[in-house]
Amino acid sequence: MKKITFARVDDRLIHGEVVTAWVPTYRINHIIIVDDTVAKDPFQRRVLKTLAPRGVRVDPMSVKEATDYLGGEDNEKERILLLTKSPTYYEQLAENGIQLPQVNLGGMGLRGDRKPFVKNVAADPVEIEAIKNLVSKEVHVFYQLVPEQRLIEITNLI
Protein backbone atom coordinates (compact mmCIF):
# COMPACT_ATOMS: atom_id res chain seq x y z
CA MET A 1 0.00 0.00 0.00
CA LYS A 2 1.20 3.50 -0.81
CA LYS A 3 2.09 5.81 2.06
CA ILE A 4 -0.02 8.96 2.22
CA THR A 5 2.06 11.89 3.48
CA PHE A 6 -0.85 14.26 4.21
CA ALA A 7 -4.63 14.30 3.69
CA ARG A 8 -6.68 17.51 3.65
CA VAL A 9 -10.30 18.52 3.09
CA ASP A 10 -10.56 21.84 1.28
CA ASP A 11 -13.37 23.09 -0.99
CA ARG A 12 -10.88 24.99 -3.13
CA LEU A 13 -8.62 21.98 -3.68
CA ILE A 14 -5.38 23.46 -5.11
CA HIS A 15 -4.96 27.12 -4.10
CA GLY A 16 -2.55 29.46 -2.31
CA GLU A 17 -2.49 27.79 1.14
CA VAL A 18 -1.96 24.36 -0.37
CA VAL A 19 0.74 25.50 -2.82
CA THR A 20 2.68 27.83 -0.49
CA ALA A 21 2.23 26.12 2.90
CA TRP A 22 1.27 22.43 2.77
CA VAL A 23 3.20 21.30 -0.32
CA PRO A 24 6.59 22.66 0.85
CA THR A 25 6.06 21.68 4.51
CA TYR A 26 5.56 18.04 3.58
CA ARG A 27 7.78 18.11 0.45
CA ILE A 28 4.85 16.87 -1.63
CA ASN A 29 5.56 15.68 -5.18
CA HIS A 30 2.19 14.10 -6.00
CA ILE A 31 -1.27 15.57 -5.35
CA ILE A 32 -4.20 13.20 -5.69
CA ILE A 33 -7.60 14.87 -5.78
CA VAL A 34 -10.28 12.39 -4.77
CA ASP A 35 -13.61 13.54 -6.19
CA ASP A 36 -15.87 11.52 -8.47
CA THR A 37 -17.23 14.63 -10.24
CA VAL A 38 -13.87 16.35 -10.78
CA ALA A 39 -12.33 13.09 -12.02
CA LYS A 40 -14.87 12.96 -14.88
CA ASP A 41 -14.60 16.63 -15.90
CA PRO A 42 -11.81 17.25 -18.47
CA PHE A 43 -11.91 21.03 -17.95
CA GLN A 44 -11.57 20.85 -14.14
CA ARG A 45 -8.83 18.23 -14.49
CA ARG A 46 -6.87 20.50 -16.86
CA VAL A 47 -7.29 23.59 -14.64
CA LEU A 48 -6.19 21.74 -11.49
CA LYS A 49 -3.11 20.36 -13.20
CA THR A 50 -2.04 23.89 -14.25
CA LEU A 51 -2.36 25.15 -10.65
CA ALA A 52 0.21 22.73 -9.27
CA PRO A 53 3.70 23.95 -8.38
CA ARG A 54 6.53 22.96 -10.71
CA GLY A 55 7.60 19.38 -10.16
CA VAL A 56 4.34 18.31 -8.50
CA ARG A 57 2.21 15.80 -10.36
CA VAL A 58 -1.58 16.18 -10.06
CA ASP A 59 -4.04 13.35 -10.62
CA PRO A 60 -7.79 13.83 -10.10
CA MET A 61 -9.28 10.40 -9.37
CA SER A 62 -12.61 8.85 -8.48
CA VAL A 63 -12.86 7.02 -5.15
CA LYS A 64 -12.47 3.71 -7.03
CA GLU A 65 -9.41 4.91 -8.96
CA ALA A 66 -7.84 6.33 -5.78
CA THR A 67 -8.52 3.10 -3.88
CA ASP A 68 -6.87 1.06 -6.62
CA TYR A 69 -3.89 3.42 -6.92
CA LEU A 70 -3.30 3.83 -3.19
CA GLY A 71 -3.61 0.09 -2.67
CA GLY A 72 -0.66 -0.42 -5.02
CA GLU A 73 2.98 -0.92 -4.19
CA ASP A 74 4.66 1.84 -2.17
CA ASN A 75 7.30 4.06 -3.75
CA GLU A 76 9.37 5.63 -0.98
CA LYS A 77 10.18 8.65 -3.18
CA GLU A 78 6.51 9.47 -3.71
CA ARG A 79 5.15 12.03 -1.21
CA ILE A 80 1.37 12.05 -1.63
CA LEU A 81 -1.02 14.83 -0.65
CA LEU A 82 -4.66 13.73 -0.83
CA LEU A 83 -7.18 16.52 -1.36
CA THR A 84 -10.96 16.25 -1.23
CA LYS A 85 -13.86 18.67 -0.90
CA SER A 86 -15.58 16.57 1.77
CA PRO A 87 -14.63 14.15 4.56
CA THR A 88 -17.13 11.69 3.05
CA TYR A 89 -14.50 10.79 0.43
CA TYR A 90 -12.02 9.89 3.18
CA GLU A 91 -14.68 7.81 4.90
CA GLN A 92 -15.14 5.86 1.64
CA LEU A 93 -11.38 5.38 1.24
CA ALA A 94 -11.09 4.13 4.83
CA GLU A 95 -14.00 1.73 4.27
CA ASN A 96 -12.12 0.46 1.19
CA GLY A 97 -9.11 -0.38 3.38
CA ILE A 98 -6.94 2.67 2.66
CA GLN A 99 -4.90 3.63 5.73
CA LEU A 100 -5.12 7.36 6.40
CA PRO A 101 -2.49 8.84 8.72
CA GLN A 102 -4.72 11.79 9.53
CA VAL A 103 -7.33 14.05 7.98
CA ASN A 104 -6.85 17.80 8.15
CA LEU A 105 -10.03 19.86 7.89
CA GLY A 106 -9.24 23.08 6.07
CA GLY A 107 -11.63 25.31 4.17
CA MET A 108 -15.14 23.87 4.13
CA GLY A 109 -17.48 26.74 3.33
CA LEU A 110 -21.15 27.24 4.06
CA ARG A 111 -23.35 25.71 1.37
CA GLY A 112 -26.43 23.51 1.27
CA ASP A 113 -27.08 21.98 4.69
CA ARG A 114 -23.64 22.86 6.06
CA LYS A 115 -23.57 24.63 9.41
CA PRO A 116 -20.53 26.23 11.10
CA PHE A 117 -18.47 23.61 12.88
CA VAL A 118 -15.12 25.16 13.84
CA LYS A 119 -13.41 28.33 12.57
CA ASN A 120 -13.87 28.38 8.76
CA VAL A 121 -15.20 24.82 8.63
CA ALA A 122 -18.86 24.11 8.06
CA ALA A 123 -20.24 20.59 7.78
CA ASP A 124 -23.58 18.98 7.03
CA PRO A 125 -24.97 16.03 9.05
CA VAL A 126 -23.56 13.46 6.58
CA GLU A 127 -20.09 15.03 6.82
CA ILE A 128 -20.27 15.12 10.64
CA GLU A 129 -21.14 11.41 10.60
CA ALA A 130 -18.21 10.75 8.21
CA ILE A 131 -15.86 12.56 10.62
CA LYS A 132 -17.19 10.49 13.55
CA ASN A 133 -16.68 7.31 11.53
CA LEU A 134 -13.09 8.29 10.71
CA VAL A 135 -12.39 9.01 14.37
CA SER A 136 -13.90 5.62 15.31
CA LYS A 137 -11.41 4.03 12.86
CA GLU A 138 -8.62 5.80 14.79
CA VAL A 139 -7.93 8.36 12.06
CA HIS A 140 -6.59 11.57 13.59
CA VAL A 141 -9.00 14.31 12.42
CA PHE A 142 -8.09 17.92 13.18
CA TYR A 143 -8.53 21.50 12.02
CA GLN A 144 -5.51 23.53 10.95
CA LEU A 145 -5.64 26.21 8.28
CA VAL A 146 -1.86 26.38 7.73
CA PRO A 147 1.06 24.49 9.32
CA GLU A 148 2.10 27.46 11.48
CA GLN A 149 -1.33 27.67 13.10
CA ARG A 150 -2.28 25.84 16.29
CA LEU A 151 -3.95 22.51 15.63
CA ILE A 152 -7.52 22.07 16.97
CA GLU A 153 -8.61 18.52 17.81
CA ILE A 154 -11.97 17.62 16.29
CA THR A 155 -12.64 14.92 18.89
CA ASN A 156 -13.22 17.72 21.40
CA LEU A 157 -15.99 19.15 19.18
CA ILE A 158 -18.05 16.12 18.15
Q: How many CA atoms lie within 13 A of 119 on its CB side?
A: 15
**Is residue 15 among the annotated active site residues?**
yes
State the burial class of residue 113 (Cβ atoms within 10 Å of its Cβ: 0-12, 13-18, 19+). Answer: exposed
Rounded CA separation 120/143 (Å):
9
Options 15, 119, 132, 140, the catalytic residue: 15
Rounded CA separation 139/6 (Å):
12
Going from the C-alpha of 77 to that of each of 4, 25, 28, 31, 146, the distances in angstroms are 12, 16, 10, 14, 24
Rounded CA separation 73/115 (Å):
39
Torsion sign (Cα): 42, 32, 21, 119? positive
Q: Which residues are catalytic?
A: 15
